[in-house]
């Protein structure tokens, strides 16, 4: 029996300490997949002139229902809606976790986060020497840059020595350059980092703040602590946007087919708390300060897309936009403002329910992706590594991207390769497994931020949750006891995936 230990979480600290049990012993042949388009059998290397530039824009705590292209009415997102119209909109895309640290680990490594027990406060979350999306494309000749929120730790954890290099960060995990912050803008100490150096030490102090009328972890919420004189919380998003625009402007020959291809990863800090829209966006939505902050995210995306176009790189640039996990948005917020940040999905950030990890996911590649297309393929953040391997002609080694499957066929409008479902991790350690429309959850309750986050089984009652999302997308009818054969099958598959240490053959 595999023991599932929970990830500690408290209402005063919204970040997971990213600890879960890992039982790993490689068992060959546990999972067999049909098809040949897997990450370990990538297509031959494409000519350098045909390999696309790649831009990944990751919002922070943005919900499935926050964009106009996903049904939002009270918040206007014209730039993101244009991105959807010019590319592909996925309706069943998932983060590998309901909170940011494990979600970002999965995006970077193509590996499910329950396989990792590292704490970002104690050291680096990404193991030294592990292949990342950045180091992969860098090995294929790409220039690589990152702007924004790292939140995957440094060698000394949060015991920062501001006069020394911060080792184990982005520039040690495949990025040529980095400008950003170590975690969220509600987690001190607050300071900027350029490559592996602190720009200015946090010698000042900022007092804690919260917003009346919202829960303690919503609104203009941040924690007290040290802050550098050059960092203003409300100016972080504009600064990151400008840094990304500047990075694109510095590409040789504008990033065209005759120059070095590039990967730019922009990790926004919004609309995560503190919700601090600038004056330009304050009051522009009908969803209060949160909606205004979403509108600012949209504008920042528009500025980055414009920079790609000015560089003459639009036609051969593959742009992804998504969010790291769901929002902190309660049912009473929806009733009060008439805006559901998670759309019709149940739950929110942290949860095993869909609102915690099903997210907007947009992809544009004018040379290859059909404009205005909608794709219902079930995909996960872990799939980016294998996708980039196939695009660039790389072959993944056995000890990399253990759970990553290329979504290039889906992007090109082709039938996606069969895969053994997807798995997600809640903030309290509940695991989910999707197999077609079936969704298995290893525990009762939300497993995250929504009450009840944990429930003890009643005598003779279900010990977990099983939903058929095709018939019950709102996850209201637990079929655990009505479908014992499905429960047994999915439970066995989940344990096999844990034991094998991988799902990619």
**491 near 477, Cβ under 8 Å?**
no
DSSP 171: G
The catalytically annotated residue of 151, 182, 339, 357 is 151
Q: Which of 181, 158, 159, 160 is nearest to 170 (CA)?
A: 181
When pLDDT is averaged across residues 219-229 and rounded to a whole number, the result is 98
The catalytically annotated residue of 79, 94, 100, 339 is 100
∠ CA 168-267-130, nearest 5°, is: 35
* 272 belongs to the catalytic site: no
Centre a 10 Å sphere on the Cβ of residue 208 and count the other Cβ atoms it contains.
Answer: 11
Query: Quick one: tokens of 325?
Result: 């996990």
When pLDDT is averaged across residues 196-207 and rounded to a whole number, the result is 98
Decide if pLDDT at 291 tops 50. yes
When pLDDT is averaged across residues 207-217 and rounded to a whole number, the result is 97
Q: Is 215 exposed, middle or buried (0-12, 13-18, 19+ CB in 10 A)?
A: middle
Query: Quick one: tokens of 15?
Result: 């970040």
Decide if pLDDT at 48 tops 80. no
The CA distance from 45 to 395, in Å, is: 9
Q: Are strands 197-198 and 193-194 parallel, antiparallel or unpaired?
A: antiparallel
Alpha carbon separation from 502 to 115, 156, 425, 429 (Å, rounded): 9, 29, 15, 18
Q: Which of 380, 485, 486, 503 is nearest to 438 (CA)?
A: 486
Question: Which residues lie below 8 Å from residue 278, measured CB to CB, with a gap of 6+?
Answer: 234, 237, 238, 296
Q: What is the pLDDT of residue 258?
A: 53
Decide if pLDDT at 47 tops 60. no
| Per-chain mean pLDDT for the chain | 90
Q: What is the pLDDT of residue 126?
A: 98
Query: Quick one: tokens of 323?
Result: 């969010």
Q: What is the pLDDT of residue 336?
A: 97
Nearest 10 degrees: CA dihedral of 370, 374, 377, 378? 120
Q: Which range is least confidently modeled, 14-23, 341-350, 381-390?
A: 14-23
Q: pLDDT (tens digit, 9 = 90+) per residue, 248-269?
A: 999 875 444 457 999 999 999 9
* 100 belongs to the catalytic site: yes
Q: What is the pLDDT of residue 253?
A: 52
Q: What is the pLDDT of residue 135?
A: 98
Using pLDDT thresholds of 50, 70 and 90, give the confidence band for residue 155: very high
Decide if pLDDT at 45 tops 70. no
Q: What is the pLDDT of residue 417?
A: 72
Q: Which of 188, 279, 189 is nearest to 237 (CA)?
A: 279
Q: How far is CA 95 from the centre of its chain?
A: 5
- In this prediction the pTM is 0.90
∠ CA 262-268-272, nearest 5°, is: 160
Q: pLDDT (tens digit, 9 = 90+) per residue, 306-325?
A: 999 999 999 999 999 999 99
């Amino acid at each position: 029996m595999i023991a599932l230990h929970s990830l500690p979480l408290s209402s005063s600290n919204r970040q997971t300490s990213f600890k879960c049990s890992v039982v790993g012993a490689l068992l060959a042949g546990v999972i067999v997949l049909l098809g040949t388009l897997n990450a370990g059998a990538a297509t031959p290397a494409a000519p350098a002139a045909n390999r696309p530039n790649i831009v990944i824009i990751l919002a922070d705590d943005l919900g499935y229902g926050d964009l106009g292209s996903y049904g939002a009415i009270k918040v206007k997102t014209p730039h993101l809606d244009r991105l959807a119209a010019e590319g592909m909109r996925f309706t069943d895309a998932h983060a590998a976790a309901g909170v940011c640290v494990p979600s970002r680990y999965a995006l970077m490594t193509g590996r499910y986060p329950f396989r990792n027990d590292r704490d970002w406060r104690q050291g680096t979350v990404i193991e030294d020497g592990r292949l990342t999306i950045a180091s992969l494309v860098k090995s294929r000749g790409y220039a690589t840059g990152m702007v924004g929120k790292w939140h995957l730790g440094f060698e000394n954890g949060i015991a920062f020595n501001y006069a020394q290099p911060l080792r184990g960060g982005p520039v040690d995990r495949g990025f040529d350059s980095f400008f950003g912050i170590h975690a969220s803008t509600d987690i001190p100490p607050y300071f900027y980092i350029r490559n592996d150096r602190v720009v200015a030490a946090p010698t000042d102090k900022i007092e804690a703040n919260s917003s009346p009328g919202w829960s303690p972890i919503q609104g203009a919420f941040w924690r007290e602590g040290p802050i550098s004189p050059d960092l203003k919380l409300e100016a972080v998003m504009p600064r990151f946007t400008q840094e990304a625009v500047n990075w694109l402007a510095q590409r040789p020959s504008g990033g065209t087919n005759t120059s070095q291809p590039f990967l730019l990863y922009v990790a926004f800090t919004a609309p995560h708390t503190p919700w601090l829209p600038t004056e330009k966006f304050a009051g522009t939505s009908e969803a209060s300060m949160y909606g205004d902050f979403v509108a600012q995210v949209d504008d920042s995306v528009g500025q980055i897309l414009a920079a790609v176009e000015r560089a003459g790189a639009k036609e051969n640039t593959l742009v992804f936009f998504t969010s790291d996990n769901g929002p902190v948005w309660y049912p009473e917020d929806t009733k009060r403002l008439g805006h559901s940040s998670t759309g019709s999905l149940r739950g929110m950030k942290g949860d095993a329910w869909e609102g915690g990890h099903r997210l907007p996911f947009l992809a544009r590649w004018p040379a290859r992706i059909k404009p205005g297309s909608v794709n219902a393929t079930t995909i996960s953040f872990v799939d980016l590594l294998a996708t980039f391997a196939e695009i660039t002609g790389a072959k993944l080694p056995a000890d990399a991207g253990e759970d990553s499957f290329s979504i290039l066929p889906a992007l090109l409008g082709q039938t996606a390769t069969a895969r053994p479902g997807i798995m997600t991790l809640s903030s309290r350690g509940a695991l989910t497994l999707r197999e077609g429309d079936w969704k298995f959850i290893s525990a009762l309750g939300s497993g995250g931020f929504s009450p009840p986050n944990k429930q003890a089984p009643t005598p003779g009652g279900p010990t977990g949750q099983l939903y058929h999302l095709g018939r019950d997308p709102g996850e209201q009818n637990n079929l655990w006891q009505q479908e014992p054969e499905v429960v047994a099958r999915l439970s066995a598959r989940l344990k096999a995936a844990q034991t094998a240490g991988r799902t990619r053959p």
